[in-house]
Amino acid sequence: MYECENSLIYIRNKTVFFLHLRQIVERMKTRKTIIVVDDNKGVLSAVELLLKNYFDKIILLNSPNTLIATILSAQPDIVLLDMNFNGGVNNGNEGLYWLHKIKQTRAQLPVVLFTAYADIDLAVKGIKDGASDFIVKPWDNTRLVETLLTAIKPTKQKQLKAATLQNAIYWGESEAMAKLKTLIEKVAATDANILITGENGTGKEVLAREIHRLSSRSIHEMITVDMGAITETLFESELFGHKKGSFTDAHADRAGKFEIANQSTLFLDEIGNLPYHLQAKLLTVLQRRSVVRVGDNEPLPVDIRLICATNCNLEEMVAQDRFRQDLLYRINTIHIEIPSLRQRKEDIVPLSEQFINRFNRQYGKSVTGLSDEACHKLNNYTWYGNIRELEHCIEKAVIISDDSVLTADCFHLPRKVIPSMENETSTLEEMEKQMIGRAIEQCNCNLSAVAAQLGITRQTLYNKMKKFKL
């Protein structure tokens, strides 16, 4: 009888243990997605069997050729990446190449490298290049699972911290910013389309992120698209997605930005750069609230909150037939104009102090503040590049300074370029070419500084340099 009771207790305890273990596993399955890339089908099958209790979705790729497209469409939490894909080649260069491609696409996405060759130097190089960890084949099951789950957890914390820092906005002391803050608090809770305008460097994307943070959609990541950087040929594919085989390089189905932003906020930056003939396609999607992937006929409903931004005068562009009036009405339910830094000079020094603190942490410096002469110099500069130009200026000063206080001599502020009028018959294009050339020379070919000085975007600067062959 005693042995029987002990057996029952053992069975009961064992049952409780496995129930507890099952609960732990279920809690760990929080709809995580992993992409596993390996050219060995046996490895893929074994890994899939091992990880099915830990990941809600496991995507297996036997080639990295479609990896980037899959990352964009599936939005995984982690990638397990083999380092060699060609038979007889085992130097790991392929893995490092695809690691770099992943980081260019989604810098915060954790990547664990997978290789049959225990090369410590290669492991160190991979981790230095952004990999989270390194697993050697044949692997230990427990070690592999722990490595993957550990790689996900801290990355999510880093993303949350980075998002918090990115979303932080300094409202300042000016009356203009106080009014803007009141307006943002009213409209953020709605789903109204918002158009943000303002000069280059005023913080239009930062404001868009603040609106998203204050909205009910903030549980999802805001999706950003730089309209000035998308080529016309890829416009539909990037925004609306495409089906496999719809064009030459369409090796897999791909979700567009509208689909990815479903139930979140879609931020279209530099909307004024969208060519006129493509504006109708964007308008159609906004009206129907559905997208049709390239190569498909089935409309996919999308639920987004749209925020657009530009430094262009869209009403003037409408008058010149360069921007559709109906599209302007659609994106302009709420219009928010961000004041330039020249209109809020009382915020220059406080902003500078915030940048000093940030760059102290970034570069391991211990600058305590600004001298009175430095404050006077900063307050009396025009800042046509606005907050972005101020930020770059403070960063440079913190890097080069050996003192605890930044003095006026730490700031080498360029004089604004005024085109020469020596030849009064010069055309406008010749004057523009001359202005850009002088700015490049004054800024020592620092194109970010040149763009800020001229008050144009870097993309616009590149286009003009190509046009004038500078």
Q: What is the pLDDT of residue 415?
A: 62
Burial of 317 (0-12, 13-18, 19+ CB in 10 A): middle
168 contact partners, CB below 8 Å, separation of at least 6: none
Please state, in angstroms and rounded to a whole number, the distance separating the CA atoms of residues 380 and 411. 12
DSSP labels, 27-66: HH-SS-EEEEE-S-HHHHHHHHHHHTTT-SEEEEESSGGG
Identical topology for domains 31-159 and 168-339: yes
Tell me: cis bond preceding 138? Omega within 30 of 0 counts.
yes
73 contact partners, CB below 8 Å, separation of at least 6: 241, 252, 253, 254, 255, 260
Residue found under tokens 């609960």? 23
Please state, in angstroms and rounded to a whole number, the distance separating the CA atoms of residues 315 and 367. 45
Please state, in angstroms and rounded to a whole number, the distance separating the CA atoms of residues 418 and 183. 37
Q: What is the pLDDT of residue 1?
A: 45
* Count of C-beta atoms within a 10 Å radius of residue 241: 25
Q: CA 168, 339, 389 angle in degrees (round to 5)?
A: 70
> Are 205 and 457 spatial neighbours (Cβ–Cβ below 8 Å)?
no
Please state, in angstroms and rounded to a whole number, the distance separating the CA atoms of residues 158 and 332. 34
Find residue 144's DSSP bridge partners. Answer: none
Say what the pTM is: 0.57
Please state, in angstroms and rounded to a whole number, the distance separating the CA atoms of residues 332 and 322. 17
Please state, in angstroms and rounded to a whole number, the distance separating the CA atoms of residues 194 and 216. 15
The SS3 call for residue 115 is strand
Q: What is the pLDDT of residue 163?
A: 46
Please state, in angstroms and rounded to a whole number, the distance separating the CA atoms of residues 208 and 307. 7
CA nearest neighbour of 74 among 20, 34, 27, 36: 34
Fold of 31-159: Rossmann fold (3.40.50)
Q: Which of 3.40.50, 1.10.10, 1.10.150, 1.25.40 is the CATH number of 428-468?
A: 1.10.10
Q: Which two tokens stand for residue 269?
A: 């930056």
Please state, in angstroms and rounded to a whole number, the distance separating the CA atoms of residues 202 and 200. 6
> Are 96 and 125 spatial neighbours (Cβ–Cβ below 8 Å)?
yes
Q: CA 247, 249, 251 angle in degrees (round to 5)?
A: 95
**How big is the chain, counted in residues?**
470
Q: What are the E-state strand segments in 129-222? A: 133-136, 194-197
Q: What is the pLDDT of residue 465?
A: 80
258 contact partners, CB below 8 Å, separation of at least 6: 239, 240, 241, 266, 285, 291, 302, 304
Q: Torsions phi, psi of 195, nearest 5?
A: -110, 120
Find residue 33's DSSP bridge partners. Answer: 57
Residue found under tokens 């020249």? 342
Superfamily of domain 168-339: P-loop containing nucleotide triphosphate hydrolases (3.40.50.300)
> Are 390 and 459 spatial neighbours (Cβ–Cβ below 8 Å)?
no
Please state, in angstroms and rounded to a whole number, the distance separating the CA atoms of residues 223 and 334. 20
Q: What is the pLDDT of residue 384?
A: 86
Write down the domain spans for the chain.
31-159, 168-339, 346-405, 428-468
Please state, in angstroms and rounded to a whole number, the distance separating the CA atoms of residues 349 and 372. 10
Burial 329-349 (b: 16+ CB within 10 A, else e): ebbeebebebbbbeebeebbb
Fold of 346-405: Helicase, Ruva Protein; domain 3 (1.10.8)
The SS3 call for residue 336 is strand
CA nearest neighbour of 203 among 94, 340, 72: 340
Could you list the mean pLDDT of each consecutive 10-residue stretch along the chain, which spans 470 residues? 45 48 46 88 92 91 90 90 66 78 86 72 73 84 88 59 55 88 93 94 93 91 88 87 79 86 94 92 93 89 95 91 95 94 92 91 89 93 91 93 91 62 56 81 72 78 77
> Are 330 and 280 spatial neighbours (Cβ–Cβ below 8 Å)?
no
